[in-house]
Amino acid sequence: MSLYTDEKANTSLTHNIQQQRPEHLFASRNNPRQIFCISNLSEKIWLYNNITHSEFLLISPLNAGASFGIPWWLSVTQEHKHHSILDCGSSAALAHIALSEGIGFVVCFAASKQIRSLQTDHNFRTRILTSRPPSQPISPQTSTCPSSFKKASSRP
């Protein structure tokens, strides 16, 4: 049974899926949001302790949702899950569960029919990214991140 009976609506929705780019979701007019790729809790803690830029998002590594699962990402992001992006790869089912659990955004490159099915829930429509946005890697062990985002050191 098809969710869509209007052929014109179906065509325009397909066009919107193909044209969707995530950048506008992460930027305000005056201050674009930076996106940092993290893979564990210690990286998240390091990031929140060392970055001055308050408007940033966390993104999982490529296909991490399918590899490690939603419980893993929730344990990494904890209270910041709403400001995070889980890369679910091609799994629309995983993307649906992640969004239902309160994760802010998902990357999902499933077939367009599966994406349309996800978008039937108006709460999910603007939170599904069909391509991975650019992000900055974080390496707390070597203290590397963009210098413009680091807090000023108290050391001389």
- Average pLDDT score over residue span 62-72: 96
Total count of residues recorded for the chain: 156
Q: What is the pLDDT of residue 81?
A: 94
Strands of 105-107's sheet, edge to edge?
128-129, 105-107, 84-87, 56-59, 34-37, 136-137
Q: Report domain extents, the chain.
A: 57-144
Q: What is the pLDDT of residue 100?
A: 95
pTM for the structure as a whole: 0.73
Tokens of 36: 């940092």
Do 46 and 14 form a contact (C-beta atoms < 8 A)? no
152 — pLDDT class (breaks 50, 70, 90): very low
Per-residue pLDDT tens over the stretch 78-128: 999 999 999 999 999 999 999 999 999 999 999 999 999 999 998 898 999
Per-residue pLDDT tens over the stretch 106-120: 999 999 999 999 999
